[in-house]
Amino acid sequence: MFLKFKNEVYSVLSIAMEKSGFKTADLVLSESPHADIASSVAFRLAPEYRQSPKNICEKIYRNITIQPDSYIDRVEMAGPYINFFASRAYLNETLLRVLLEREDFGNLDNKGKVILEHTSANPDGPLHIGHIRNSVIGDTLARILKRAGFDVETQYYINDMGRQIAVVVWGLANFKFDTTKKTDHAIAEVYINANKTLVDEKEHSPEVDGIMKQYETGNSETIKKFKDAIDTAMQGIKESLGRMNISHDKFIWESMFVRSGEVSRMIGRVKETGRAGMKDGALMVDLKNQGIQKPLVIQRSDGTSLYTTRDLAYHEWKASQCDRMIDILGADHKLISSQLKAVLRILGLKEPEIVIFEFVSLPEGSMSTRRGVFISADELLDQVEKAAYDEVNKKRPETSENFKKKVAAFVGIGAVRYDIIRVSPEKATTFDWKEALDFEKQGAPFIQYSHARACSILKNAKDEGFVFDKFDPSLLVEEQEVILIKKLASFDNVIDNSARELKPNLMAIYARELADAFNQFYRYVPVLSVEPEYRAARLALVDCSRIVLANALDTLGITAPESM
């Protein structure tokens, strides 16, 4: 709805500008504490037209005309600013649209297929708290883009050709696999032990090299060993992702591109560009004219491919089946991803859009699966759920054990997802147990609680036999009601902005603000105890709030509970 309002402001202002004889590409519209939408376009025009901003503003203002039934109620001039205010029609239509469109309210109609790759952690152990920043950003963006209208496919790229998996395979042949542990944790244990031994006893290193070579040349027995090891790890990884409401549409194995011959074809194409040269027997691409000083090695002197080469083939393959590619990558991939894009550009291929997130570190330093220094996602979720359980137990002691467990699970997962998504990806963070287990701050439980409150009112209304299939939205004139309706209306704007800029944290902020607006309404405006016509209108507003809160939570991958 907000987008419709904004469009109308845009066209009304454009016409007024034209009538007054001004031209500019940018109308400088923004949300403002002084208006629903404000324009500071007069400042932009001042130097070009050699008039004071205020003067220009007056001329434009005089030419503004608003149609009856417009979403714009009135326009005011405040010095050099032009302030637009939303009308009753806008508020009323918002409510009707929410009730009509329900879970689709706020969705946009963008077109196109998007392949979004996220998580893609090496299958050598469980996901840790750094990996899940990737997963949560990726999954939330996928949900946002779907609401924005795109046809989104999520992919997990499995790096099965790296040395680390060969180490796991070697380790499985030499160490005990603990079948009592969750499978990905058991793989990590083997991997950590194997690494330790390989450092202490260098003589085993050639054995790992041999395993890698066998895998690359396609030895069927070795392939089976790799597949078993990876499947074992992935089983646990998928379980952890599933626990956080995250799933992938496809799992793509890196080796696929070697075996299909696409990697060697890719090397051939790179050679043909004339940008590549042999140095010490290795094939290198010069990227200086792409702004990257470091040349990129495409093929080793022994003729084998590297990670980036295979990634090039993967991206070419992806590009052939979608309109946009989006990769979620950790900050350690900054250089490598810009090299990847540069080569794709040279080859005239489509480039991915890359969302980089900064590292999550522990107070004692960075994490490492290889060294066994990490906090797993499972451990975090277990601890958070335990803390959430204590909280429910304290707040709702009368409820059943089953209820408490259920609430603890969705509150815990919600808290973890919200905590990750609320801070923008480019911020490096240090993990802190105390903070992770703190439910007092305004996070996911706050938003979930608002939703539960809305459900509770609706349930009470139903029990009393109160209906609101007919209501007059114009009765909703309290300040808290108007603020709340405007907040509901702006859901589409948040989808649009977060999808356009690939910023999932905007949705987190919105959900919190919406919950905030609802809680204020809840506190100051009685619903059930008022005259029937007001009760009906307010019940409709509560239902709308419930719907949009649920939509926002769904976009964040967080459960919207009826009770907690």
Partner RNA sequence: GGGCUCGUGGCUUAGCCUGGAUAUAGCGCCGGGCUUCUAACCCGGAUGUCGAGGGUUCGAAUCCCUCCGGGCCCGCCA
Touching RNA, residues 180-219 (CB under 7 A): none
Phi and psi at residue 263, in whole multiples of 5°? -70, -45
Task: Give me the least distance between CB of 551 and RNA, in Å please.
Answer: 19
503 is an interface residue for RNA by CB under 7 A: yes
Site string for RNA, 323-352 (x = CB under 7 A): --------xxxxxx----------------
467 is an interface residue for RNA by CB under 7 A: no
CA distance linking residue 503 with residue 424, whole number of Å = 7
Which of 182-190, 239-247, 343-351, 427-435 is the region at the interface with RNA (rule: CB under 7 A)?
Answer: 427-435
Give which of 357, 383, 311, 313 is closest to 502, Cα–Cα.
357
Q: Which of 78, 96, 100, 467 binds RNA (CB under 7 A)?
A: 78
Task: Give me the least distance between CB of 179 and RNA, in Å please.
Answer: 27
Amino acid at 45: L
Given the complex with RNA, which of 101 and 464 has the nearer CB atom? 464
b/e code 402-419 from CB counts within 10 Å (16+ = b): eebebbbbbbbbbbbbbb
- Residue written as tokens 């952690």? 121
383 is an interface residue for RNA by CB under 7 A: no
Which of 4-12, 141-149, 261-269, 275-283 is the region at the interface with RNA (rule: CB under 7 A)?
Answer: 275-283
Which of 130-138, 158-166, 374-382, 548-556 is the region at the interface with RNA (rule: CB under 7 A)?
Answer: 158-166
Residues 6+ apart with CB under 8 A from 519: 450, 453
Given the complex with RNA, which of 40 and 197 has the nearer CB atom? 40
Given the complex with RNA, which of 113 and 300 has the nearer CB atom? 300
Contact assessment for residue 222 and residue 215, using Cβ atoms and an 8 Å cutoff: yes
Q: Which of 175, 359, 431, 433 binds RNA (CB under 7 A)?
A: 359
56 is an interface residue for RNA by CB under 7 A: no
- What's the token pair of residue 392? 């429910």
449 is an interface residue for RNA by CB under 7 A: yes
Interface size with RNA, residues (CB under 7 A): 96
Q: Which of 188, 407, 494, 549 binds RNA (CB under 7 A)?
A: 407
Site string for RNA, 83-122 (x = CB under 7 A): x--------------------------------------x
Q: Which of 15, 96, 100, 428 binds RNA (CB under 7 A)?
A: 428
Task: Give me the least distance between CB of 10 and RNA, in Å please.
Answer: 14
Q: Which of 453, 486, 487, 546 binds RNA (CB under 7 A)?
A: 453
- Residue 266 burial class via C-beta count within 10 angstroms: exposed 0-12, middle 13-18, buried 19 and up: buried
Give which of 143, 154, 147 is closest to 108, Cα–Cα.
147
C-beta atoms surrounding 66 within 10 Å: 15
Question: CA-CA distances (angstroms) from residue 517 to 446, 488, 491?
Answer: 12, 9, 13
Amino acid at 65: T
32 is an interface residue for RNA by CB under 7 A: yes
Contact assessment for residue 286 and residue 275, using Cβ atoms and an 8 Å cutoff: yes
Contact assessment for residue 310 and residue 161, using Cβ atoms and an 8 Å cutoff: yes
Task: Give me the least distance between CB of 180 and RNA, in Å please.
Answer: 29
Task: Give me the least distance between CB of 392 and RNA, in Å please.
Answer: 4
302 is an interface residue for RNA by CB under 7 A: yes
Given the complex with RNA, which of 44 and 269 has the nearer CB atom? 44
Task: Give me the least distance between CB of 176 and RNA, in Å please.
Answer: 26
Residues 118-157 that bind RNA (CB under 7 A): 122
3-state secondary structure of 547: helix
Task: Give me the least distance between CB of 174 and RNA, in Å please.
Answer: 20
Task: Give me the least distance between CB of 104 and RNA, in Å please.
Answer: 25
Which of 91-99, 173-181, 447-455, 545-553 is the region at the interface with RNA (rule: CB under 7 A)?
Answer: 447-455
520 is an interface residue for RNA by CB under 7 A: yes
Any idea of the CA torsion for 173, 182, 256, 150, to the nearest 10 degrees?
-170
Amino acid at 94: T
CA distance linking residue 202 with residue 215, whole number of Å = 21
254 is an interface residue for RNA by CB under 7 A: yes
CA distance linking residue 291 with residue 498, whole number of Å = 29
Angle at Cα 325 formed by Cα 323 and Cα 329, nearest 5°? Answer: 170
Which of 100-108, 191-199, 300-308, 470-478 is the region at the interface with RNA (rule: CB under 7 A)?
Answer: 300-308
Q: Which of 98, 392, 494, 547 binds RNA (CB under 7 A)?
A: 392
b/e code 506-516 from CB counts within 10 Å (16+ = b): bbbebbbbbbb
User: Within 13 A of 515's CA, how many CA atoms are on the CB side?
Assistant: 23
